[in-house]
Structure 1
Amino acid sequence: MSGAPANLLRFLIARTLRHEAPLAALSCGKPALLADLAGRRVALVGNARSLAEGAFGPAIDGADLVIRVNRAPMPDARSHGTRTDWLALAVKPGPGDLRRLNPARVLWMSHKRKRLPWDIARDPGFYLHPLADWSRLRDTLGAPPTTGLMMIDLLAQSGLERLDLYGFDFFASLSLTGSRSAAQVPHDFAAEKAWVEALTARDPRIGLTGG
């Protein structure tokens, strides 16, 4: 067996057995990813329902790089903008999501490697977030970090010029992607809010802009 079928088989074996090295070999390295962010103005768009009440779409689309999270609903260009350059995932995208969003790079942020789809892992822009980064945040927060928080942490490690956070209200208005309450998800939103507030206080590049 050779070519694409062999690559798929190797991927499935590595994913099933949780062999990190073969999966990481498919990924853009973290140093290269961080280097790609240097000097750029980044908009990170979360999925808080409250974002739909604003008019931040033009500001979002005006960033050098627009990053969205998980299924990334975009109910209106006025509130959410139209661009998706990078997509950060901790869940399998829904039918048509990747085609709708058309990101140049997909980042798999979840520690759950068995959920990683082959069509994402084989993409030239694929990035696999290190398990050590997820574990560090989990230990800091005392709960599994959200995809958005992992992205904030990752972006803050780079030499970006500016990071504006949209659609982050730490579940005060719930999420556009579902109806679950804060008590029904495994995250500590009070801890995440305190973490972000401490970060923005010490890093003037980062602003909690709206939503």
Structure 2
Amino acid sequence: MMTLLRSLERHQRSLRNRIALWPGLPGAPDILDPERFAGRRVIVIGPAETLADDLEGTVVDGFDVVVRLNNGLSLADTRPDLFGRRTDILVHNLRETGPRNAGEIPASLLTDKGVSMLVYPHWRRSADRRAYRAKRAALKRAGGPPLSILPPEIMQEIRADLGNRAPTVGISAILFFLATPASELAIHGFTFFETRYASGYNDAIRSGAEARAWVDARGAHEPLSEKRLLRKRLALPHAPRVILGRNVRRHLEAD
């Protein structure tokens, strides 16, 4: 009986999610279209302390699309000569307050930094939809950039491949762009929480162990599973030519 009830609840939640996506309904989200990146050179910049070493010899602002994550705007300010001055897309979890916040992102800051689009990965829970709608309304009132979500079908597939765990913002962004018809995808500054963050991103974290504890605190994410999933997806046919930072590759290939 309990199994049947849980199955019904899952189906009801799925139906509510699909209905909430209908374009004609109030509050329906803007969904980031993978075709938008056809033929484009995209760089996704993570927050690991190895980022500077990864980017040596790379001209970040030479890419067509520069993607940063969460508190990436603050991180970019620490080394604009190396980390780049542009942010075309900021993928953010929309947690702006509290001890586990990912940095405040008022419309004024996003506009000042030249962010063309803010992207929220999630739409599955009612709390996700409320967060999206509240932030979109705030950005619209203040003349900020548009807010989109990653395609729910892509996010659901990622979640299923992770054993029904929520993907981190980083793996969500990487796997989305891997599924686009971009011409090139460069991935730098990711060590799958095996090192601390780069200075200026989250200075409360002082070691790889603390970084892992931070991401595991609520039991929502599992970095080892994400690493294995990325290896699996990279082995499949995909459109973009993928360039991995030297430390990304080293940590990705390590068991």
Question: Which category describes the TM-score, using the shorter chain as reference length?
Answer: 0.7 to 0.9
- Is contact 2:115–2:145 with CA below 8 Å preserved after alignment? no
1:94 aligns with 2:75: no
Structure 2 unaligned blocks of 5 or more: 1-15, 96-102, 248-255
The share of aligned pairs that are identical, in percent, is 25
1:131 aligns with 2:152: yes
Matched residue SS, 1:49? coil
Aligned partner of 1:82 in structure 2 is 85
Structure 1 unaligned blocks of 5 or more: 1-16
1:119 aligns with 2:122: no
- Is contact 1:57–1:82 with CA below 8 Å preserved after alignment? no
Aligned partner of 1:11 in structure 2 is none
Summarize the alignment of residues 50-199 of structure 1 with structure 2, pairs less than 5 Å apart.
Answer: 50-56=50-56, 58-72=58-72, 73-74=75-76, 75-92=78-95, 93-94=103-104, 97-111=109-123, 112-116=128-132, 117=135, 118-120=137-139, 125-142=146-163, 143-176=165-198, 177-178=201-202, 179=205, 180-185=210-215, 186-199=220-233
Q: For structure 1, which segment, 158-167 or 193-202, has the greater mean C-alpha deviation from structure 2 after superposition? A: 193-202
Instruction: Give the C-alpha shift of residue 147 in structure 1.
Output: 0.9
Q: For the structure 1 residues 121 and 172, does the alpha-carbon distance in structure 2 shift closer, same or farther, using more than 3 Å as the test?
A: farther
Instruction: Give the C-alpha shift of residue 26 in structure 1.
Output: 4.5
How many pairs align? 192
Matched residue SS, 2:193? coil
Instruction: Give the C-alpha shift of residue 23 in structure 1.
Output: 6.4
Q: TM-score, normalised by structure 1?
A: 0.76
Q: TM-score, normalised by structure 2?
A: 0.65
Matched residue SS, 1:135? helix
1:131-181 Cα offsets, whole Å, 9 max, x none, are 343332122112210111111221122111000001111112133433243
Q: For the structure 1 residues 153 and 20, does the alpha-carbon distance in structure 2 shift closer, same or farther, using more than 3 Å as the test?
A: same
Summarize the alignment of residues 34-45 of structure 1 with structure 2, pairs less than 5 Å apart.
Answer: 34-45=34-45
Matched residue SS, 1:199? helix
RMSD: 2.8
Matched residue SS, 2:122? coil
Q: Who wins on radius of gyration, i.e. which is larger? A: 2
Instruction: Give the C-alpha shift of residue 78 in structure 1.
Output: 3.8
Matched residue SS, 2:233? helix
Q: Distance in 2 between matches of 1:184 and 1:124?
A: 30
Aligned partner of 1:209 in structure 2 is 245
Aligned partner of 2:49 in structure 1 is 49
- Give 2:223's aligned amino acid: F
Q: For the structure 1 residues 51 and 100, does the alpha-carbon distance in structure 2 shift closer, same or farther, using more than 3 Å as the test?
A: farther
Aligned partner of 1:25 in structure 2 is 28
